[in-house]
Structure 1
Amino acid sequence: MKNALRLGVVLFFLGLAVQACAYGAGDMSKKASALDKLTRKVDSYQAEFGVTPGMSVQDLLYAAAGQDSELLRTLGKDQVHVTFISGNAVLLLCTGDGRHALLENSACTPRFDRQLWRDEPGAPCRFTITRENVCDN
């Protein structure tokens, strides 16, 4: 039983290390830059046109990116999730399988907010930015 538990713990941490290695700093720097630009574009699109009920995230991203489709290509097969906090766009980039968060950025701050792939490898794919912890500061 102890050996099975040890093996489980080793495999868990090995999985986290593999995930961190799968996303190199150079690749993630490009993705962070693209997500930052896309966050601002989504925020501007929402302010100018609004987000219609039933609009898919994919449709919103394509509409906001407009002619700059390279932004979406840079993000590859990773999943992009969008929410709005106090009218500000917040984008979350997760692994392609949707299990782990990689990057999280809000339009209400001038700096890039969270590089989860590096700081919290294996973090679940869910929003952590709130009005209180980012947008009101």
Structure 2
Amino acid sequence: MAKITAKTSVLISLLLISLVGCNSLPKDKDPEVMYDLASRLKHLATAVDGLVKFGGGDKLSKDELLLAAVKNEPSKLQFLEGYTTKVNIEGNNTAILICRNETAVVEDAGCTAASDVQHWQASQPAACSFTLTLAQICQ
């Protein structure tokens, strides 16, 4: 029977730690998770934008606006759990920003067809504040 030495045990432990570390991305850096989040946010941002432009959404609180955008089905907002969600209304244009720990993750204007800003891909973390100028991109 082979005897495992302390040196072998340490090497095996280091190998296992490195394998686990290589295969586990933080949730906010996992592309599959982030692209799904951005896609869901795009649909929500479009609905919010429509409510503000055509449905009196500008008179609602942020929470009421988000709930109205999903037709009062709170389960459709579960993807936002664990994130800070901000809504920006400029005139009749809107944007939604999702952050975690005061760091911007994804930002989307409701007036555009594509997902707008993938902050999670930036080399340096961005502060949890809006970067889109709605008057320019929503012409």
The answer (yes or no) to whether the contact 1:30–1:74 under 8 Å persists in 2 is: no
Residue equivalent to 1:41:
47
**Aligned residue identity for 1:35:** L
Percent identical residues: 28
Separation of aligned partners in 2, 1:101 and 1:130? 16
Which whole-Å CA distance do the structure 2 matches of 1:64 and 1:72 have between them?
10
- Conserved in 2, the CA contact under 8 Å of 1:34 and 1:71? no
- TM-score, length-scaled by structure 1: 0.71
Which whole-Å deviations, capped at 9, do the CAs of 1:58-117 have from their partners, x for residues lacking one?
Answer: 12101111155454112222111111234121111111x4x1100011122211110001
CA distance in 2, matches of 1:68, 1:31: 18
AA aligned to 2:65 is L
Q: Aligned pair 1:134/2:125, yes or no?
A: no
Q: Which runs of 5+ in 1 are unaligned?
A: 1-19
Q: Which amino acid aligns with 1:124?
A: A
Question: What's the TM-score once normalised by structure 2's chain length?
Answer: 0.70
Q: What is the rounded CA distance, in whole Å, between the counterparts of 2:34 and 2:80 in structure 1?
A: 9
1:102 aligns with 2:114: no
Question: In structure 2, what residue type is equivalent to 1:129?
Answer: L
